[in-house]
Structure 1
Amino acid sequence: MHDYINAKDTELWDVVLDGPYIPTREEYNETDKKKIEKNYKPKKILVCGIGSDEYNKISACETTKEIWDCLKTSHEGTTQVKESKVYMFTTQYENFCIKEGETIHEINSRFTSITNELRWLGEPISPSKQVQKILKVLPKSWESKMNAITEEKDLKVLTMDELIGNLQTVTTLKSSR
Structure 2
Amino acid sequence: MAAPPIFQEGASLTRPPFFNGKYYGWWKNRMMDFIIAENYDLWNVVMDGPIIPTKLGADGTVLPKGRLELTPENKIALQNNAKAKNILICGLGPDEYNRISSCSTAKEIWDTLQTAHEGMSQMKKCKIDYLNRKYELFRMKDGETIQEMHSRFTSIIDEMDSLGE
Does the TM-score normalized on the shorter chain lie above 0.5?
yes
2:79 paired residue number = 37
Q: TM-score, normalised by structure 2?
A: 0.69
Structure-2 residue corresponding to 1:168: none
Q: 1:36 to 1:102 in 2, by over 3 A?
A: closer
**Alignment: residue pair count:** 123
Among 152, 155, 158, which residue is 1:110 paired with?
A: 152
| CA deviation after TM superposition for structure 1 residue 12, in Å | 0.8
For 1:70 and 1:19, the matched residues in 2 are separated by 13
Larger RCO (CA under 8 A, 6+ residues apart): 2
| Mapped partners of 1:100, 1:48: distance in 2 | 42
Q: List structure 1 segments (4+ residues) > 6 angstroms apart after TM superposition.
A: none
Q: Which has the higher helix share?
A: 1
* Partner Cα distance (1:36, 1:101) in 2: 55
User: 2:37 is matched with which residue?
Assistant: 7
Gaps of 5+ in 1: 124-177
AA at the equivalent of 1:35: A
Q: Give the distance between the partners of 1:89 and 1:106, measured in 2 at CA.
A: 18
Aligned counterparts, 1:1-177, within 5 A: 1-25=31-55, 26=65, 27-123=69-165
Q: Deviations over 1:23-48 (max 9, x none)?
A: 11242221111112112110011001
TM-score in terms of structure 1 length: 0.65
Q: What SS does the corresponding residue of 2:114 show, helix, strand or coil?
A: helix
Secondary structure of 2:152's aligned partner: helix
Residue 50 of structure 1 aligns to a residue whose secondary structure is coil
Q: Deviations over 1:55-85 (max 9, x none)?
A: 0100011111111100111221111111111
Query: Is there any run of 5+ residues in structure 2 with no aligned partner, and where?
Result: 1-30, 56-64
Larger radius of gyration: 1
